[in-house]
Amino acid sequence: MHTRKLGPFTVTAIGLGCMNLSHAYGTPPSPEQGRKVLHAALDAGVTLFDTAALYGFGANESLVGPVLKPHRREITLCSKGGMAGVTGDDGVTRRVIDGRPEAIRRNCEDSLRRLQTDVIDLYYLHRWDKSVPIEESVGALSRLVGQGKVRAIGLSEVSAATVRKAHAVHPVAAVQTEYSLWTRNPEIAVLAACREIGAAFVAFSPVARGFLCDALHDVTTLDAKDIRKTMPRFAPENYARNLQLLPPYKAIAREAGCTPAQLALAWLLHKGPDIIPIPGTTSVEHLREDLAAADVRLSPRTIASLEALINQDTVAGDRYSDQSNREVDTEVF
């Protein structure tokens, strides 16, 4: 397996985003199927696993923890706090962004218990709570490092300015943000900020939430609980326009001798040795397909063709709803 540096860790060039196994894209697979995917990743040599307190309101960490426990010395385990499920007086659990130090500390303790581990290798602030100075939230993360509960810290969906403020408090090992051919926002400033401070860049949703896998042709079939139903790019009118990008995209994949999903991942790997994609899947077959992208080689001409075809000017619709856009700190075109 090809490897890359992630803060103090050496990890496989492609990691596994575990969210899909418990969260976000409609009814999740059975725990049995989730364990099959995790074991297949381990068998394939994957050493980077990414989860969060939010995913399934703790269910994902509870799924991932016992499977990875026997392999803790061989893998890098990442989780996130500062955004988690909170159960109200009405008994309903809702997503809450809370960057106060006491909330981050509580989130971490809960994650350690669910993950069945004494330490989380890389712990991210899942979202910056804009009512709390970033320095205070990062200060809480640094204390977790000092207590031996966390080895390195990261940030998710933040701007270059916030990265620099955070790094002044404690070294930031990684920044995680959506990045793919159809979401190029990191290229505005965050990638440069990461390289300036020596942080790795972890790309989530690297296959554009399934779009670049050629896996979704009719958005009206999406499950009612699928988060893509709230995303403007997946609104029927926008998606119909975006689908027109797929035939030429698939032609480039055929020319490159790979699948559409592999083309998307290979493009990211070619964008820099500090970029680590973490695709998610519920399928062992798709997992193996994704991992094989590390062996795909793209010519400069192929990369130029891809970037001219799919970019911020050719994709219809924003990546997030207005509400979700208010919750992130990333630069926009």
Active site residues: 55
Which one-letter amino acid corresponds to residue 77?
A: L
Pairing of strands 48-50, 16-17: parallel
What phi, psi does 115 have (nearest 5°)? -80, -10
The C-alpha atoms of residue 96 and residue 152 are separated, in whole angstroms, by 24
The C-alpha atoms of residue 31 and residue 46 are separated, in whole angstroms, by 20
Cβ atoms of residues 121 and 77 within 8 Å: yes
Strand order in the sheet with 275-277: 16-17, 48-50, 76-81, 120-125, 150-156, 172-178, 200-204, 275-277
The C-alpha atoms of residue 183 and residue 205 are separated, in whole angstroms, by 9
Q: What DSSP designation does 82 have?
A: S
Find, among 178, 136, 142, the residue nearest to 158 by Cα. Answer: 178
Cβ atoms of residues 194 and 162 within 8 Å: no
Which one-letter amino acid corresponds to residue 330?
A: T
Cβ atoms of residues 285 and 313 within 8 Å: no
